[in-house]
A and B are shown apart, each in its own frame.
Chain A
């Protein structure tokens, strides 16, 4: 069975580039992630916030699922990101670098406060990014911290960097091990689980192999950065394991 892109593919668009956002709107229905975090340089974060806010208003009736990746709670940007974005009711909010249950609770408190103050009849779902060793160790607690988690997603580059920073001997192996743990956890909890971006977008064979392994681990979809990767994701994650 092959599932549609809207169920499997998560297409990243830099939040500070309105022309890229408009281009993504021409695609067939899929999940579009408007990125305020790593896809937006530091000196563009303020502009990006308003581009994404206005894009959510402009494309509110779009056939796409619009997800906003805000900045991490460990940065000075996250609160203002939520203040501009939440009133526009994005379909989901992707939360990077969640390390502990308290990180998630902090975000939820802020969101609930805003919803109360604005009288909004809306509750966002979250896609929680697991990007460091601490997060994997706390996965159960993080899951318990909110009733509104739609999926966990894996951030491979940051996880790798965390392993390097901790002086772990084989960061590549640690990344695979973390993916296995996350995939297994999500499978056992019947949660959606999305794998990390594959930056070498021209290497479609390598991407295909990576997707096959990822699917075995329990991942149910994938973030992509290039249109050429979409068909591979649909093909691999859209078919059930034998």
Chain B
């Protein structure tokens, strides 16, 4: 199973949940931000939506919090077994 939301465009964040991926992986695309700061910003939001433990791959390109939340909500919805069973998409 491979689910992806968002994009690597400016002011966005891309999150991919790939079955079998070993660990959380971060690419910080914003040069003036230390990687740790981005990690500390994004991970708590992922945890709120139950995504941090699913070894997401993340590309962060300066997304504001409302954008991170949007992406997390969409991903959480997609990964919800109820929605997958019912074939609810798009």
Which residues of A are at the interface with B, using a C-beta cutoff of 8 A?
Answer: 17-19, 22, 42-43, 45-47, 49-51, 53-55, 57-58, 76-77, 80
The residue on B at minimum CB distance from A51 is B70
Which residues of B are at the interface with A, using a C-beta cutoff of 8 A?
Answer: 5-7, 9-12, 63-64, 66-67, 69-71, 73-74, 77-78, 88-90
- CB of A50 within 8 A of CB of B11, answer no
Contacting residues, chain A, for B67 (C-beta < 8 A) = 18, 51, 54
Query: How far, in whole Å, are A19 and B11 apart by their CA atoms in the complex?
Result: 5
Secondary structure type dominating chain A contacts: helix
Q: List 25 A-B contacts (CB under 8 A).
A: A17-B7, A18-B63, A18-B70, A19-B10, A19-B11, A22-B64, A42-B90, A45-B90, A46-B74, A46-B77, A46-B78, A47-B70, A47-B71, A47-B74, A50-B71, A50-B73, A51-B67, A51-B70, A53-B70, A53-B73, A54-B69, A54-B70, A55-B66, A55-B70, A58-B64
Secondary structure type dominating chain B contacts: mixed
Contacting residues, chain A, for B69 (C-beta < 8 A) = 54
Give min CB distance, B83 to chain A, whole Å.
9
- CB of B6 within 8 A of CB of A19, answer no
Which of the residues B5, B63, B66, B77 comes within 8 Å of A57, measured between beta carbons?
B66
Task: Kindly list 12 other residue pairs between chains A and B, CB separation below 8 angstroms, not including A50-B70, A54-B67.
Answer: A17-B9, A46-B89, A46-B90, A47-B6, A50-B74, A50-B77, A51-B70, A53-B70, A53-B73, A54-B66, A57-B66, A76-B90
Which of the residues B9, B11, B12, B74 comes within 8 Å of A49, measured between beta carbons?
B74
Contacting residues, chain B, for A55 (C-beta < 8 A) = 66, 70
- CB of B11 within 8 A of CB of A18, answer yes
- CB of B70 within 8 A of CB of A22, answer no
- CB of B90 within 8 A of CB of A43, answer yes
The residue on B at minimum CB distance from A77 is B90
Query: How far, in whole Å, are A18 and B66 apart by their CA atoms in the complex?
Result: 9
Query: How far, in whole Å, are A80 and B88 apart by their CA atoms in the complex?
Result: 10
Q: Which of A47, A57, A58 has the most CB of B within 10 A?
A: A47
